[in-house]
Amino acid sequence: MMILGSLLITLLLASGHAYNILIIHPTPSYSHQQPVMVLTESLIKRGHQLYVVSTNAVPGLEKNYTYVDVSFMYKYLATKSEDKGEENVNLQVQHTKWNVPSALFTLYSKMAAMEFNSTQFSKFYEQVRRDKIKFDVALMETFFISSSCAMIRHLGGYDVPTIVISTIPHAVCGGEDNSGSIDHPSYLPFWLSSYTDRMNIWQKIDNWLSKFFIDGTLKNMLESAARNYFREAYSPEYETLVDGCWSNMSLSIITSNFLYNYPRLLAPNVVETGPMHIKKELEKLPQSIEDWLDGAELGVVLFSLGSNMQSASLPESVRSNFLKYFAQLPAGYRVVWKWEAGGKVPGQSDNILAIKWSPQQSILAHPKLKVFITQGGLQSFQEAVHYGVPTVGIPWFGDQEMNVAKMIDAGIGTRILPKELQSYEKIKSAIDAVLYDDGYMKNMKRLSAISQDFTSQAVDKAVFWVEHVARFGGASHLRPSTAVATYFEFFCYDIISVILILSLILLYLVKLAYKFLLDSVFLSPKIKRKIS
């Protein structure tokens, strides 16, 4: 029966069309690579040929999988607070939204060029030319639309349809706006802000300014870097490969949905799939971790700041505050602390288990988990919701501010600002609220149940849309006319302006007519002479 089932699946795959799919996803961040890795594996299982330029390979894939290894980019992410330099991005400190362009995107804007200049990519470039590989569709990360789109055109021509993929809650830097789903900053928080969808007047003003100034700066930085690369790496005429990249995207796929942000109007060519990296089969926990979790009579607190920020980089005074709090937990509570330095956390109490790498999903799925102390990255947020664990968010940079604000708004977590970590009382208050108030767990369980309805469809939904775009050579049938509209046109200011101008002209004409009637009809010649 199993053999018959396998044969049936093989025949079904064979009856479909296998596509050559190119993915360029440059960001050196494991959490942001996870959804793309899952999508890659699923597309290969469907019989497609995948060519992937990425910092993380999918383990176990060989057939139909060409991996261009650009993992060397990880060396440019500072893993310690003292790891500074012109080429490094220091992710061990807080970055506000206003310094994101200079602190993070100075390197981000150069990242694609550095990867395209690598020996690994040069070999891939030669392979494409030599074997005359034709791509049916290409996927590119939302932060690198201009550089990736231009390279896709250089490799395969202008006819290759492109799909933007975003592993943060919005397809930023043009992935949504230029697809026709224009944001309304009065009702949708900017992706680097800490607002909700219900802002006061001052927050709305700040949100509008952030949207236009910061997003505009980032787009200009990324496009300028792309133009510089093609001009210098090839010749000046190749710079034109960047022209029109923002306006020729077929589709945008966002690996999130409204549960992790807010409901908003989206055109049919912007697809929210929901979390794609949630595992159907969890990896088995190491026995030492499983025994530790099982032995917690009252529950477990997981302390993990993600794949970028490291708790080992926290100042000693901040670590002391956490150690003091954990040591004072009632007997029966235990802590799992992701401690990247290895060994024990200096000064830790007996109720703490320090681990160098956290099999996060498997730990969160354990029934003894009560609180997840997280940096608030989207993938960690999605995992916490899926497995129903309330959160304490400590946002450091990027979309973490917005994600943690959503946790608070949904009643599933609390927040500690990085500057508040120096206060033991702030830490105690935030964790105590989630640990001892059942309302947070109740809200999280409800949200978890809702989320699982959508998460179960996420990967299949993404696969369908990739195949759809490949099958029809694009998705112009999904593209609304708002894709070429300006904000002035989208909010009907052009119509309002015409109405106002016509109204003013009409009022002026009425005034002239009134004056004429007053002068010529109602005033007699005798009165006119007296007046004159």
Structural domain spans, the chain: 15-278+456-484, 287-454
- In angstroms, rounded to a whole number, what is the distance separating the alpha carbons of residues 421 and 335? 18
The reported pLDDT for the residue numbered 2 is 40
What superfamily in CATH does domain 15-278+456-484 come from? Glycogen Phosphorylase B; (3.40.50.2000)
CA angle (482 as vertex; 256, 207 as ends), nearest 5: 55
Q: For each successive 10 residues of the chain (532 residues), what is the average pLDDT? A: 41 65 94 95 96 95 94 80 60 86 84 94 96 96 94 95 94 86 92 94 96 92 94 94 91 95 94 94 92 96 90 92 97 95 93 92 96 96 97 95 96 96 97 97 97 92 97 95 90 94 95 85 59 54
CA distances from 101 to 97, 221, 366, 398 (A): 8, 8, 39, 11
Q: HEC string of 452-503? A: HHHHCCHHHHHHHHHHHHHHHCCCHHHCCHHHHCCHHHHCCHHHHHHHHHHH
- Whether the Cβ atoms of residue 23 and residue 36 lie closer than 8 Å to each other: yes
CATH architecture of the domain formed by 287-454: 3-Layer(aba) Sandwich (3.40)
- Strand ranges (DSSP E) for 104-173? 137-141, 162-166
DSSP string, 508-522: HHHHHHHHHHIIIII
- By the 10 Å C-beta count (0-12 exposed, 13-18 middle, 19+ buried), 96 is classed as exposed
Identity at 517, one-letter amino acid code: L
If you count them, how many residues does the chain have?
Answer: 532
- Whether the Cβ atoms of residue 404 and residue 395 lie closer than 8 Å to each other: yes
State the DSSP H helix or E strand holding residue 446, giving kind and residue range, or none if neither.
helix 438-455
Task: Give the contacts of 132 (CB within 8 A, at least 6 positions apart).
Answer: none
The pair of structure tokens assigned to 44 is 């290969």
- In angstroms, rounded to a whole number, what is the distance separating the alpha carbons of residues 113 and 87? 13
Identity at 250, one-letter amino acid code: S
CA torsion 91→94→100→105, rounded to 10°?
Answer: -10
Let me know how many helices (H) and strands (E) the chain has, helices first: 19, 15
- In angstroms, rounded to a whole number, what is the distance separating the alpha carbons of residues 299 and 247? 51
From 277, 326, 293, 313, select the one nearest 428 (Cα to Cα). 326
**Other CB atoms within 10 A of residue 42 CB:** 16
Number of Cα atoms under 13 Å in the Cβ half of residue 345: 32
**Other CB atoms within 10 A of residue 416 CB:** 19
Calculate the CA 375 to chain-centre distance. 14
What crossing angle do the helices spanning 30-45 and 378-387 adopt, rounded to 10°? 70
Which residues, in sequence order, are bridge partners of residue 140? 24, 164
- In angstroms, rounded to a whole number, what is the distance separating the alpha carbons of residues 70 and 26? 8
pTM to 2 decimals? 0.90
458-497 b/e (C-beta count within 10 Å ≥ 16 → b): bbebbbebbbbbbeeebbeebbeebbeeeeeeeeeeeeee
From 347, 350, 357, 353, select the one nearest 368 (Cα to Cα). 353
- In angstroms, rounded to a whole number, what is the distance separating the alpha carbons of residues 122 and 295? 53
Task: Give the contacts of 491 (CB within 8 A, at least 6 positions apart).
Answer: none
- In angstroms, rounded to a whole number, what is the distance separating the alpha carbons of residues 263 and 257? 8
State the DSSP H helix or E strand holding residue 77, giving kind and residue range, or none if neither.
strand 77-78
- Whether the Cβ atoms of residue 242 and residue 230 lie closer than 8 Å to each other: yes
- In angstroms, rounded to a whole number, what is the distance separating the alpha carbons of residues 42 and 45? 5
The pair of structure tokens assigned to 253 is 């796929």
Say whether 287-454 and 15-278+456-484 share the same fold.
Answer: yes
